Homo-oligomer: A and B are copies of this chain.
Amino acid sequence: MGNAYNVMAATCPSRTVLHRIGARWTVFIVNALDNRPMRFTELKAHIRGITPKALTEALRAMEYDGLISRTEIPASPPHVEYALTDLGRSLLTPLRAIREWAESHVPDIERARARADAQR
């Protein structure tokens, strides 16, 4: 059956969805939460180079879209846990594929860039 949505259409709602998936840190967060929930500082340590502001914004946005859940745990000391929702977990396969493509094609891209640089 055909799909009701088409990202190529300027005003299609799938555009905003795609925009969120493609946002700077989404792929990192989904991959990081792959096999267990994590706390804020844990995520920050795991995803090297992310600033707390960027992490906060990404987590809030993903929570808003139902990709992750934020749970305050009233233990002592209290802390916060972020976890993938079912919806977020369904993103895991495609985003893991993206991550793997990136990691496995670094030499190809670097070769292409070097060739392009040399051409001038």
Which of A's residues lie within 8 Å of B, judged by CB? 3-11, 13-18, 20-24, 27-28, 31-32, 46-49, 63-67, 87, 90-91, 93-95, 97-106, 108-113, 115-116
Contact = CB atoms under 8 A, between A and B. Distances in A.
> Which 5 interchain pairs have the tightest Cβ spacing?
A66-B112, A10-B49, A10-B48, A18-B102, A94-B97
A77 to B, nearest CB: 26
A18 B99 contact: yes
A65 B113 contact: yes
Contact of A18 (B15, B27, B46): B27
Contacts of A113: 64-66
A46 B9 CA distance: 8
Contact of A28 (B4, B8, B66, B67): B8
A112 B66 CA distance: 5
Contacts of A115: 66
A14 to B, nearest CB: 5
A24 B90 CA distance: 22
